Structure 1
Amino acid sequence: MKLNSLYVALVAAVSSSAFAAPTDLERIEVKGSYFNDYKVDNANGAMRTSASLLETAQSVTVISETIVNEQLATTLGEVLTNDASLTAGSQQRNREVFNLRGFELSSSTGYLRDGHQHWSHYQQPIEILQQVEVIKGPSSILYGQSGPGGLVNMVTKKPTATTLFNASADVDQHGSTRFMLDAAGALTDAEDLRARGILVKQDVDYWREYQNGENRERDRFLGALIVDYDLSDNALVRVHYDRTDDEAGLDTGAWIDDNANVIGDDKTIRDMSWAFTDITVENLGVDFEVYLNDHWQVKLGYNEQTFERQRFESAPRKPGTFTEGDSYESRPYDRFDDWQFKTAFIDFVGEFETAGLQHQFLIGANSLDYYYGQRRVSADYFDFAAGQDEPSRPTVSYKTDDTISETEYDYYGIYVQDLISFSPEWQLSVGGRYDKQNREGADNESFVPKVGVLYHPNPSATIYASYSEGFEPQGSDTLVNETDVNNGMKLDAVTSEQREVGVKWQLFDDRLMLSGAVFDISKKGTLVTEALEVPVGEFTSKTNQVGEQRHKGFELSAQGAATDRLFVMASTMYLDANFERDEDLEGKRPTDAPKWSASLWTRYELNDTIAFNAGAFFEGERFADSANTVEKDAYTRVDVGATYKLKVSNTDVNLRLNIENLLDEDYLGGGGLNNVTVGEGTNVRLAAQFSF
């Protein structure tokens, strides 16, 4: 029962009892939980403002903090398994790669944090997140250059006026530990100054091991502080800072043969035990929110992200033909990377009426200033075979490199969007963006439109159809290949288009959201190079910008409360994805893009003290190479969990037990022939969560 429904029932009962004899008193018994913490009604990223999903002409999935906590998730990849439209790619070098509707998400343009583009070449600190939003399809209209699959928007936790203090500790069967503190509250009696601080210390012992017998390990620290100050009743300023220090041994993935079988033992890491990556990431920013009047609001935001990484690689190379016991070459190097992301935006959001039509209007601008610098020093190559003593770490350092390889560019965009309500049943969403990139040798200008029509047969349902475009500028504005017939050819940005038809329907007094979408996405303008049968002078190839990728399919999902005690998050996707107009890849399927995928996570509350969780995650057959010669088998992973709630000295305590891969399924995750992720067997996690 929803909270407002419960309140109305209680008021009605009390009112009637005032005029009835005691024998006529109605007994009301409330069973189950009325708090629906699986279902989220609004998303921030799809419309650049908090918008109802029923008024969003686009498929959007929102994964709540509750689900993240129940699953004891420690990485973004574990969170995103709850949406079947996302599949994992390679997880080598302590980072995660994802495919959305079959298209790989770029580290620079595929992720947002609170609406800012976010450099995501590392495992995200999910402990600071309130929810994760998966925005499907091209979204360049509001955020600029981005891929055709969509975006992942990470919404962070904010300060609260109410005092809260949460502490938790979890451990797994390998001895990995994670400790977290999350505190918030008002700093003044007037509650106009509020803050929130989060601290995390994590030590991971992985199940895979190096060939000298040592286990791979990871050491991570996270600190975050967010402060809100009410400048007035109508104005807020927010300052945020977070820092992640993450050091881990390297594991570039397993090697598989032509039958998709792991070569050697599943636990074997081909990298040397002295290979590591050491990352420091800092985010510092400020946001303003000002209500100009009852109908208009202005939002301004700035974020500066600094990402520094040292990576000391052993860089193993898989030979063309390799069986366990053969030697392979390693090419060690020490490398330092420095990325700097500076993002800013200003949005004017308003509601007004013209000629009897209601408008929810957005006009704004955003920008990105990008810098990347690299130093690198290589060591001598060496050969290694299983059973040999591990070579010592080479005595090289990136600090001796006097040269820096640098890349810089910036871009800005101006966008407008209007949600027009013609009646309670009909709405029209229209918008467009002009975008300009300034980059040496790769200047680019683009304009993209977006339009959607929404029909509401009743207040709890929406049927919509939408069209959107996206773009990704090339690395150069001309083709550079002196042996190609078209050397010097002008290059346009790679473009994408999506056509989507969908339905969203809320059931059971709006407690459960059902949704479905049919989509057709095309990506055009990729470079296709063909070898000339007969060389023409010095020219041996011909390149044209005619490559195309076509992804079609449908999605179904359910999220919310099925009963007073049963909560569910479920989704499935069918995907027909192929390369077109490419001599080498024509008709081939992209790697790690299964035809069928599905996910399910549930909670059943036995009573107010005990709850059980059960989930299943399915991925169909996927190719491990672009030539489609090696196919990884389908698999289903089953997870279960349980929570026991108790109160100790006015402290709420949740004790959790989770078992991942209950049936000990053997499977391969994302990645290709020389960097595949091997699925872990049964893994047990225990956690204690305290709320003071």
Structure 2
Amino acid sequence: MNEKNNRPFSNLNICVAALFISTLSVRAAEIPIENRVGTEEMDNASSERKSLQKSAEDKTAGKESPKPAESPISLDMVTVMDKYEDEEEQRGRYYVPDATTATKTDTPLMETPASIQVVPRAVMDDQQAIRLEDIVRNVSGVQVKRQLGDLFDSFIIRGFDTRFTVYRDGLRLAEQSFETANLDRTEVLKGPASALFGRIEPGGLVNMVTKKPLTERYYSLGQQFGSFDLYRTTLDATGPVIDNGDLSYRLNFVYLDSGSFRDFVDRERKFVAPQLTWRLTENTDINFGYEFKDDAVTGDRGIPAIGNRPAKVPISRFIGEPDFSLNEAESHLGHITWTHRFNDDWRVQQKFVINFVDTFNRNIIPVSLRGDNRTINRGLFNGSTERETYATDINLNGKFEAFGTQHNVLVGFDFLRFQSRRGVTFLTGADFIPTLDTFNPVYGIAIPDNLPVNNFFSTKQQWFGVYLQDQIDLTRNLHLLFSGRYDWAENASGFSSTGSPNLNTVRNNEFSPRVGLLFSPRDWLSLYADWTHALGAANAGQSADGKPFDPEFAEQFEGGVKLELLDGRFNANLAVYELTKENILTAARVDPSTVTGPAIQEAIGEARSRGVEFDFAGHLTDELSVIGSYAYTDTRVLNDNNGNEGHRLPNVPEHAGSLWVNYELPFGFKLGTGVYISDKRQGNAQNDVQLPGYVRWDAMAAYQWNIGVSKITAQVNVNNILDKEYYKFLDIAGNPRFDINPGEPLTVIGSLRLEY
């Protein structure tokens, strides 16, 4: 069993917690109560609101003499201060009315003709969400897919795999496991997003919106501890560097040390993210920062399937080798964003990010299951991978009136370059790698030194894109959106068993359009329709005539209803869609005796997803908050030469839903509970492995109290209260007869957080 589970509390965590709590407790008594703020910024992307907030701060600092009460400017400032003066109250919001991911502009959800859901910081805190998968489980139509345990984040949206693609503040990053402590909110856009983001999988995208520096001082220290030897320390500090607020900072720090209910599986993370915001002028500011993340995770390939179900073994069963299972990932990320506002209506913004991720993987992996349905043939994977991402976009956004209609125009350009180099040892039949009995495992293996590298793989993706979007208010109640983008994209890849491979390059130049129409007969009701045709992944390989394949494409038709009720505190979105992915590579129907060299393929594969999705979030009363979802997803393979026509796509339940309810009691008490439901899922494209459905019940309780101007929150979350056995995902990127990942059993997470 896992040796970490009996280990005493980490000395590092004790020292860090004791040092910061003592320091913050002394400092708290010195800070006036009017300087207390919460952890979130409302609408970081809104330059107009930032400008108004700055004006209000200048007045408070005495830069301008007070205006008479009857002055129109003074009235405007009162409105802004009402919005910003109590960020602690904003922290409790379950509904965020605006989002940027769907349009790359700060657009109200009620005016966006697309399905986009926002999970704010308040939900993350109440659920103690440590992983990105803990956040997106609140959104309909999203399933989790991981590789090697907790090494990479990836998702399935509306039935289609995102292939480890995740966005941070609107820019794409390389595959990795992401930190959640520095997130302000997470936005999930459903459906193809190529009209603004370029080549992407058609199901949708997950965009992490990070916290930004504040001009008011705020400090938070948190300590989490829980089942399976979980210890996690977090620090969030922000405020002005100079008194006038023209230069402000933010620092996020995380140290995590955890075991697992899985035998021999451990995890350690170090994360630090400093950043600065510099207000060069009243209309120009620049934000820049750095993130360092170091992960050490035991490689975990789950449990095997016996027949068409997960093997009847303890969910802790480990099928690797304890002494030869290690995954390390080190990430360095630098980012710069600058914004200039020409006036109240026009602004330009550019973002740039560079990300280096180096991973080392050492694992004994399952290869096949013998005919006795218990003996696993195993192989070896040992080596390193280097990944580099360079991404930037520049957007000119402006508003104007023409011929009686209001326009919100976005003109943009972006560039992405991602490259990966791998050199590893990959062996599947070595004599020194013994088999493993699924039901009675015996561990221990002698690995020879100086294993030869025999697996070299390189890939490079690069594209330039230009796009134009116009959000047109035809009337007060009728809104038209048009987006069009042209891409110059290339994808190069190569493999060799002896050295650096030669790269084969595929180039695609394509136009991706999108049209949406939204009608609001009432302020609280919007009806919308949306159509998009999107560029997908490049198709590399050999066709029968030797010509390059056309790339994948996707087309979606969507319609929906949006509601904003209870004075704007509650929002609901109902969407109906049909999404088709075309030009998927499949085996060719040719006479194999006439073909030499690599296998011949055809780009004729087609898959479809149809569904109904319902998401809602907000406050039913001042005390009662909810967030929930339901998805009916019908996926089918429409055209395929591998015998899979008519099959469901892997890892997609037909019915799935979630509900989380939070109630604030008097005297600082808070209670919450939630349920997560999933129908059975197919484990592979052949549909001969099924993962059973499940119901998971969670709950939390918290108590907050003040010491001077400081606030302390004690909280406990209990997940999977009924201790149900379930399987939450299957890594379809590996061998689907293995990689079946059990969900966590009954788990308790406690936390203590000090804020001032």
Q: Could you state the TM-score of these two structures normalised by the residue count of structure 1?
A: 0.89
Give yes or no for the alignment of 1:410 onto 2:462: yes
The equivalent residue for 1:145 is: 199
Superposed counterparts of 1:643-654, under 5 Å:
643-654=702-713
Paired letter, 1:117: R
Q: Is the 8 A contact 1:332 1:394 kept in 2?
A: no
Query: Deviation of residue 487 (structure 1)?
Result: 4.4
Equivalent of residue 247 in structure 2, options 180, 190, 193: 193
Equivalent of residue 554 in structure 2, options 485, 493, 496: 496
The equivalent residue for 2:297 is: 248
Equivalent of residue 542 in structure 2, options 450, 468, 480: 480
Q: Tell me the distance in 2 between the aligned counterparts of 1:618 and 1:342.
A: 39
Paired letter, 1:407: T
Give yes or no for the alignment of 1:464 onto 2:514: no
Q: What's the RMSD between the two structures over aligned residues?
A: 2.0
Query: Deviation of residue 282 (structure 1)?
Result: 1.2
Q: Is the 8 A contact 2:542 2:548 kept in 1?
A: no
Equivalent of residue 104 in structure 1, options 157, 161, 166: 161
Q: Tell me the distance in 2 between the aligned counterparts of 1:261 and 1:412.
A: 45
Paired letter, 2:471: L
Q: Is the 8 A contact 1:57 1:466 kept in 2?
A: yes
The equivalent residue for 1:228 is: 277
Equivalent of residue 572 in structure 2, options 514, 519, 528: 514
Q: Tell me the distance in 2 between the aligned counterparts of 1:677 and 1:388.
A: 18
Query: Deviation of residue 318 (structure 1)?
Result: 3.3
Paired letter, 1:239: F
Paired letter, 1:348: L
Q: Tell me the distance in 1 between the aligned counterparts of 2:728 and 2:509.
A: 38
Q: 1:154 to 1:537 in 2, by over 3 A?
A: closer
The superposition leaves residues 311-347 of structure 1 with CA deviations (integer Å, 9 ceiling, x where unpaired) of 01112223143544x3x33222321100000001110
Equivalent of residue 555 in structure 1, options 609, 613, 627: 613
Q: Tell me the distance in 1 between the aligned counterparts of 2:509 and 2:652.
A: 31
Equivalent of residue 67 in structure 1, options 123, 132, 137: 123
Q: Is the 8 A contact 2:542 2:599 kept in 1?
A: no
Q: 1:54 to 1:171 in 2, by over 3 A?
A: same
Paired letter, 1:364: G
Give yes or no for the alignment of 1:447 onto 2:501: no
The equivalent residue for 1:126 is: 180
The equivalent residue for 2:169 is: 114
Paired letter, 2:418: Y
Equivalent of residue 156 in structure 1, options 204, 210, 214: 210
Equivalent of residue 674 in structure 1, options 726, 729, 738: 738
Give yes or no for the alignment of 1:352 onto 2:409: no
Q: 1:480 to 1:664 in 2, by over 3 A?
A: same
Give yes or no for the alignment of 1:268 onto 2:324: no
The superposition leaves residues 495-545 of structure 1 with CA deviations (integer Å, 9 ceiling, x where unpaired) of 001110011111111211121010010001112324446844769986432
Equivalent of residue 132 in structure 2, options 76, 79, 94: 76
Q: Tell me the distance in 2 between the aligned counterparts of 1:76 and 1:598.
A: 18
Q: Tell me the distance in 2 between the aligned counterparts of 1:612 and 1:628.
A: 41
The equivalent residue for 2:688 is: 629
Corresponding residue pairs, total: 643
Paired letter, 2:578: D
The superposition leaves residues 162-212 of structure 1 with CA deviations (integer Å, 9 ceiling, x where unpaired) of 100001011112221000000000010111000000110000110110xxx
Q: Is the 8 A contact 2:542 2:601 kept in 1?
A: no
Q: Is the 8 A contact 2:213 2:239 kept in 1?
A: yes
Q: Tell me the distance in 2 between the aligned counterparts of 1:556 and 1:403.
A: 45
Query: Deviation of residue 259 (structure 1)?
Result: 3.7
The equivalent residue for 1:425 is: 477
The superposition leaves residues 250-296 of structure 1 with CA deviations (integer Å, 9 ceiling, x where unpaired) of 11111121241324322111011121100001110211100012221
The superposition leaves residues 127-179 of structure 1 with CA deviations (integer Å, 9 ceiling, x where unpaired) of 11100000000000111001110010000000000100001011112221000
Query: Deviation of residue 665 (structure 1)?
Result: 1.1
The equivalent residue for 1:607 is: 666
The equivalent residue for 1:22 is: none
Q: Which moved more, 1:133-142 or 1:538-547?
A: 538-547
The superposition leaves residues 601-629 of structure 1 with CA deviations (integer Å, 9 ceiling, x where unpaired) of 11011224111010000110111121112
The equivalent residue for 1:592 is: 651
SS in 2 for 1:126: coil
Q: Is the 8 A contact 1:91 1:253 kept in 2?
A: no
Q: Is the 8 A contact 1:168 1:688 kept in 2?
A: yes
Q: What stretches of structure 1 of length at least 5 have no aligned partner? A: 1-32, 210-214
Paired letter, 2:444: P
Give yes or no for the alignment of 1:298 onto 2:362: no
Give yes or no for the alignment of 1:55 onto 2:91: no
Q: 1:662 to 1:388 in 2, by over 3 A?
A: closer
SS in 2 for 1:182: strand
Q: Tell me the distance in 1 between the aligned counterparts of 2:681 and 2:381.
A: 32
Query: Deviation of residue 58 (structure 1)?
Result: 0.2
Q: 1:489 to 1:402 in 2, by over 3 A?
A: closer
Q: Tell me the distance in 2 between the aligned counterparts of 1:615 and 1:609.
A: 20
Superposed counterparts of 1:327-342, under 5 Å:
328-342=376-390
Query: Deviation of residue 396 (structure 1)?
Result: 4.2
Q: Is the 8 A contact 1:312 1:333 kept in 2?
A: yes
Query: Deviation of residue 389 (structure 1)?
Result: 5.2
Q: Tell me the distance in 2 between the aligned counterparts of 1:590 and 1:403.
A: 30
Give yes or no for the alignment of 1:361 onto 2:412: no
Q: Tell me the distance in 2 between the aligned counterparts of 1:540 and 1:290.
A: 53
Q: 1:628 to 1:402 in 2, by over 3 A?
A: closer
The equivalent residue for 1:218 is: 267
Paired letter, 1:349: N
SS in 1 for 2:729: coil
Q: Is the 8 A contact 1:184 1:197 kept in 2?
A: yes
Q: Tell me the distance in 2 between the aligned counterparts of 1:537 and 1:303.
A: 45
Q: Is the 8 A contact 1:670 1:676 kept in 2?
A: yes
Q: Is the 8 A contact 2:154 2:166 kept in 1?
A: no
Give yes or no for the alignment of 1:180 onto 2:234: yes
SS in 2 for 1:456: strand
Q: 1:454 to 1:171 in 2, by over 3 A?
A: same
The equivalent residue for 2:585 is: 527
Paired letter, 1:332: L
The equivalent residue for 2:487 is: 435
Q: What stretches of structure 2 of length at least 5 have no aligned partner? A: 1-88, 492-503, 731-735
SS in 2 for 1:681: coil
The equivalent residue for 1:5 is: none
The equivalent residue for 1:27 is: none
Q: Is the 8 A contact 1:444 1:473 kept in 2?
A: no
Paired letter, 2:425: V
The equivalent residue for 2:365 is: 315
Query: Deviation of residue 550 (structure 1)?
Result: 0.8
Q: Tell me the distance in 1 between the aligned counterparts of 2:602 and 2:580.
A: 18
Q: 1:582 to 1:642 in 2, by over 3 A?
A: same
Q: Tell me the distance in 1 between the aligned counterparts of 2:92 and 2:267.
A: 36
Query: Deviation of residue 448 (structure 1)?
Result: 0.6
Q: Is the 8 A contact 2:718 2:748 kept in 1?
A: yes
Paired letter, 1:284: G
The equivalent residue for 2:434 is: 383
Paired letter, 1:370: F
Q: Could you state the TM-score of these two structures normalised by the residue count of structure 2?
A: 0.82
Query: Deviation of residue 402 (structure 1)?
Result: 10
Q: Tell me the distance in 1 between the aligned counterparts of 2:91 and 2:225.
A: 29
Identity of aligned residues (%): 24
Q: 1:620 to 1:231 in 2, by over 3 A?
A: same
- Please state which structure has a larger fraction of its residues in helix: 2
Q: 1:435 to 1:532 in 2, by over 3 A?
A: closer
